[in-house]
Amino acid sequence: MSAEIDFYELLEVERTADDKVLKSAYRKLAMKYHPDKNPGCADSEARFKQINEAYACLSDPQKRAAYDRYGHAAFQQGAGGGAGGGGFGGGDFGDIGDIFETIFGGAFGGGGRQQPRRGADLRYDMEISLEDAFHGKDAEIEVEVSQKCDPCGGSGATPGTSARRCNLCGGHGKVRAQQGFFMVERPCPNCHGRGEVIEKPCKHCRGEGRVDAEQRLQVTIPAGVDNGTRIRLAGKGEAGPFGAPPGDLYIFLHIQRHRVFEREGTTLLTRCPISFTTAALGGEIEIPGLDGKVHAIEIPAGIQSGKQLRKRGAGMPVLQGRGIGDLVVEIHVETPTKLSARQKELLREFQATETGEECPQSKGFFERIKDAWTDLTE
């Protein structure tokens, strides 16, 4: 490379650029000038070599420090402050290889044939009641999923036959080709990276080694599950191709809306209307819980709407843990809309005895209104 071309200018970065910025800039430029992208272009090939040289230097902390101090002279024969191991020429291209393996599908690779990939994971959405979430349950589900082909045992070959080694790649699963300055390795186009070729595909699965079929599965739902709880059934997902291991099946739970209770974690919440006489005098109400018990809730005299009363240990169980949450009852005082003549008479008698002390909040509010009006009129 010509000594006049600055490495930082080549990569189009500032001299203070960190490793992340350097790699990003190199990746972008390498893709732009790669010989595969510009076949037959000598200028692009030359620029590609320059970019590689610049990145190999600046991505190495010792070489970069030497370059920052001495410039290109740091890598010339006999120069002081060399970058170790005989200067730049014998640099480690391992990181560059990693990048090209990502960009160009293994150009710097050499890992042999592709391993059979594991089957895909699957998702199943299941709706259950709040009662089921409280007690837990065993359920059966049906899913259509790819399963290993029985006639060929997942091999994809007709029973009695087997796959043979690919003649094109010799069973390696990859072939090499010269691409300008580099020797590039790609998946074999004949066997698609498997290293084997099926001459007589199984008629049942058409050489895939798997077929779609209905599957009945038993699912155990533990007590205390909530919306979004995920249950994993290992190995019950999609079968892998050519006998590869299957994926997993994930069951996502959704809790149906309950007609009485709402849920917040392990707390059950319900809203209970009471008469204004019960609110004034106090009393007791009974709430049937999801646990099958009837829970008595004491109403203190003078309770107001919106007040929450808590019953310990009457809520939801803790998922895969110990303990039970609480039941919270929110009180709403209900004003009667249908009164008999006698009831109206009794209420008028009560009204005649009111002094204002019975409802301190009302008294305080109207006193503030009175004071505010006085201030406005004076």
Residues 6+ away with beta carbon under 8 Å from 229:
252, 253, 319
Q: Of 371, 332, 378, 153, give the one whose Cα is nearest residue 244.
A: 153
The residue whose two tokens read 């829970």 is 295
Q: Per the annotation, does 57 bind a ligand?
A: no
Q: Per the annotation, does 169 bind a ligand?
A: yes
Q: Of 182, 161, 246, give the one whose Cα is nearest residue 211.
A: 246
Distances (CA, A) of 312 to 251, 290, 324, 325: 32, 14, 8, 7
Q: Phi then psi for 95, rounded to 5 degrees?
A: -65, -35
Q: Per the annotation, does 272 bind a ligand?
A: no
Q: Per the annotation, does 166 bind a ligand?
A: yes
Q: Per the annotation, does 41 bind a ligand?
A: no
Q: What CA–CA distance (Å, rounded) separates 178 from 185?
A: 9
Which residues lie across from 250 on neighbouring strands? 123, 232
DSSP 8-state class, residue 190: T
Alpha helices (H) in 150-261, listed in sequence order: none
Mark the binding-site residues for Zn(2+), compressed into ranges: 149, 152, 166, 169, 188, 191, 202, 205
Annotated binding site: 149, 152, 166, 169, 188, 191, 202, 205
